[in-house]
Amino acid sequence: GAVVSQHPSRVICKSGTSVKIECRSLDFQATTMFWYRQFPKKSLMLMATSNEGSKATYEQGVEKDKFLINHASLTLSTLTVTSAHPEDSSFYICSASFQGYDYEQYFGPGTRLTVT
Amino acid sequence: QKEVEQNSGPLSVPEGAIASLNCTYSDRGSQSFFWYRQYSGKSPELIMSIYSNGDKEDGRFTAQLNKASQYVSLLIRDSQPSDSATYLCAVGSYNTDKLIFGTGTRLQVFP
């Protein structure tokens, strides 16, 4: 149980384009979903927290107009990186929780974004 | 002081030995504690969660929590080469409303 999928697993895009990443909880309803970013040999950095049907809460320093998050249902959240630049290249990972941040979070397999 | 601290390692142990991974945290309001395993190039996988002081065992894994000392550890018994990975400690607090991850300890289990 507690399986989270993420699509695509890898994406290469040109600078200035937008990329959408999907995160789905396959066998449970996720009240809360989280989006993280991880640079090589660095720890996970939380970008935003989203609850179904409400606006995402972004961490300090994360541009909400650049990283658009939609949590349309209890099983689906999307992250859109708008006008991507090479510095946005990173490993983006979503996680989902039955309840909130202080309960177990189950991670998707991640999306490796490369912006050329 | 970092919010969640882990020794980066690598921690090298022989196959069959006990691996001991440690984590300290700074926020006394922390109430939830997690250990994740992350293989190179992959996403984290939940290993253990612990919420109250003491030990919690699950198979070869034992999590230990001491809130007074602000310390949480993970013991891996009968370590296997497949346990070689980076282990992330994560701490949740009412004060921050999010999980804070440590930078991870790299474990190497050699045959």
Please check whether residue A39 touches B, CB under 8 A. Answer: no
pLDDT in tens, A21-46: 999 999 888 888 999 999 988 889 99
Whether the Cβ atoms of residue B109 and residue B13 lie closer than 8 Å to each other: yes
CA B15 to chain centre: 19
The closest alpha carbon to B55, from B71, B39, B38, belongs to B71
Hey, of B58, B99, B105, B106, which one would you mutate to test binding to chain A, going by the most A CBs within 10 A of its CB? B99
What is the overall mean pLDDT for chain A? 92
- Among A41-45, A46-50, B57-61, B94-98, the minimum mean pLDDT is found in B94-98
Of A49, A106, A110, the CB nearest to B98: A49
* Element at A81 (helix H, strand E): strand A76-81
Structure tokens at B23: 């984590």
State mean pLDDT over B33-61.
Answer: 96
| DSSP collapsed to 3 states, B30-54 | EEEEEEEEECCCCCCEEEEEECCCE
A residues 83..102 contacting B (CB < 8 A): 93, 101-102
Structure tokens at B49: 């969660």
Chain A residues touching residue B32 (CB < 8 angstroms): 102-103
Angle, alpha carbons A46-B92-B4 (nearest 5°): 75
Burial class (CB in 10 A: 0-12, 13-18, 19+), A68: middle
Burial class (CB in 10 A: 0-12, 13-18, 19+), B95: exposed
Residue B94: is its pLDDT beyond 80? no
pLDDT in tens, B10-25: 999 999 999 999 999 9
pLDDT in tens, A45-79: 999 999 887 889 999 999 999 999 998 888 999 99
Chain A residues touching residue B102 (CB < 8 angstroms): 43
Q: Do B98 and A44 touch (CB under 8 A)?
A: no
DSSP states of B38-99 as a string?
A: E-TTS--EEEEEE-SSEEEEETTEEEEEETTTTEEEEEESS--GGG-EEEEEEEEETTTTEE
Please check whether residue B46 touches A, CB under 8 A. Answer: yes
Residue where the block lists tokens 């946005």: A88
Confidence (pLDDT) at A66 = 96
